[in-house]
């Protein structure tokens, strides 16, 4: 457990430490899942091992959020049994062929289509594991 003041889910960053309900580190934030424009926090994808795929923590299982730390309402065993994170499908508006440049640019900002390469996660997890070994 940390003694810092709680902060909003909006400030959670990739790599923040994830703690179980006993205050023990069980992973790192991989991705924040939600809709910031409507202030809807769905949950977190967390890395719990270097080579494993991220696990999904629903918002109702997230406890206190403080600068650099996210405490879960789950035990270490419950974290180990979490489902694998599946990235939500991206929604996008289909524009007619005749749509102008400005309308296409607006659509790209409103509903960006993104894909996150899988190899990106492995480097992030290796960095997380290295930080844990060094004791940071």
Bigger pLDDT: 12 vs 130: 12
Token representation of residue 88 = 């939500």
> Tell me: the pLDDT tens digits for 90-118?
554 554 566 665 555 555 544 444 444 44
State how far the Cα of 11 lies from the Cα of 111, in Å rounded to an integer.
21
Nearest to 30 by CA among 50, 41, 45, 18: 45
- Judge whether 121 lies within some domain: yes
Q: Cα dist. 103→90, 91, 99 in Å?
A: 19, 16, 6
**What's the CATH number where 28 sits?**
2.30.30.240
Residue 95 placed within a domain: yes
- Residue 18 bridge partners (DSSP): 27, 70
Instruction: Answer yes or no: pTM beyond 0.75.
Output: no
Q: Which domain holds residue 60?
A: 9-134
């Amino acid at each position: 457990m940390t003694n810092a003041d709680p902060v909003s889910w909006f400030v959670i960053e990739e790599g923040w430490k994830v703690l179980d309900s006993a205050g023990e580190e069980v992973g790192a934030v991989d991705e924040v899942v939600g809709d910031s424009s409507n202030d809807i926090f769905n949950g977190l994808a967390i890395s719990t091992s270097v080579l494993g795929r991220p696990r999904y923590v629903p918002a109702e299982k997230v406890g206190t959020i403080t600068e650099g730390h996210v405490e879960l309402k789950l035990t270490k065993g419950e974290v180990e049994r979490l489902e694998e994170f599946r990235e939500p499908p991206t929604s996008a508006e289909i524009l007619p062929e005749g749509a102008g440049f400005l309308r296409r640019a607006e659509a790209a900002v409103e509903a960006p289509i993104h894909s996150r390469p899988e190899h990106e996660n492995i480097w992030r997890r290796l960095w997380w594991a290295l930080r844990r070994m060094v004791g940071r």
